[in-house]
Amino acid sequence: LKNKELFLVDKIRQRAKKQLSPGLRLGIGDDTAILSALPPTQELLITTDLLVEGAHFERRWHPPRALGHKVLARGLSDLAAMGGRPRWALLSLCLPAWVTPAWKKHFFNGLFDLAGKTGVALIGGDLARGERFTADIVVLGECRRGRALRRSAAKTGDSIYVSGLLGGSALGLERLRTGRPRPSDPAVQRHLLPTPRLALGQYLSRHPGVHAALDLSDGLSLDLFRLTRESGVGAEIRVADLPVFPGATLDHALHGGEDYELLFTSRPGLRPPPSAGAVPLTLIGVITSGQKLVLVGADGRRRNLPVKGFEHDL
Our CB check for Mg ion shows the closer of 207 and 226 to be: 226
Least distance to Mg ion from the beta carbon of 47, Å? 8
**CA distance between the termini of the chain:** 33
Our CB check for Mg ion shows the closer of 64 and 75 to be: 75
Our CB check for Mg ion shows the closer of 158 and 215 to be: 215
Give me the residues that bind Mg ion (CB under 5 A), please.
78, 215, 217
Least distance to Mg ion from the beta carbon of 204, Å? 14
Least distance to Mg ion from the beta carbon of 117, Å? 20
Least distance to Mg ion from the beta carbon of 194, Å? 12
Least distance to Mg ion from the beta carbon of 55, Å? 17
Q: Are the C-beta atoms of 26 and 33 separated by less than 8 Å? A: yes
**Beta strand 85-95 with 121-129: parallel, antiparallel or unpaired?**
parallel
**Beta strand 134-144 with 85-95: parallel, antiparallel or unpaired?**
antiparallel
Least distance to Mg ion from the beta carbon of 215, Å? 4
Our CB check for Mg ion shows the closer of 27 and 201 to be: 201
DSSP letter at 240 equals G
- For residues 112, 116, 120 and 122, what is the CA-based torsion angle, rounded to 10 degrees? 30
- Quickly count: other Cβ atoms within 10 Å of residue 195's Cβ: 20
User: How far is Cα of residue 157 from the mean position of the Cα atoms in its chain?
Assistant: 27
Our CB check for Mg ion shows the closer of 263 and 276 to be: 263
Our CB check for Mg ion shows the closer of 84 and 110 to be: 84
Least distance to Mg ion from the beta carbon of 112, Å? 23
Least distance to Mg ion from the beta carbon of 214, Å? 6
**What are the Cα distances from residue 79, in Å, to 27, 76, 234?**
21, 5, 25
Our CB check for Mg ion shows the closer of 89 and 296 to be: 89
Please name which of 292, 294, 291, 273 lies closest in space to residue 282, comparing C-alpha atoms: 273
Q: Are the C-beta atoms of 287 and 237 separated by less than 8 Å? A: no
Q: Note the helical H segments in the chain.
A: 2-17, 64-82, 101-118, 168-178, 186-192, 198-206, 220-231, 250-255
Please name which of 207, 88, 79 lies closest in space to residue 143, comparing C-alpha atoms: 79
Our CB check for Mg ion shows the closer of 174 and 258 to be: 258
Q: Are the C-beta atoms of 169 and 258 separated by less than 8 Å? A: yes
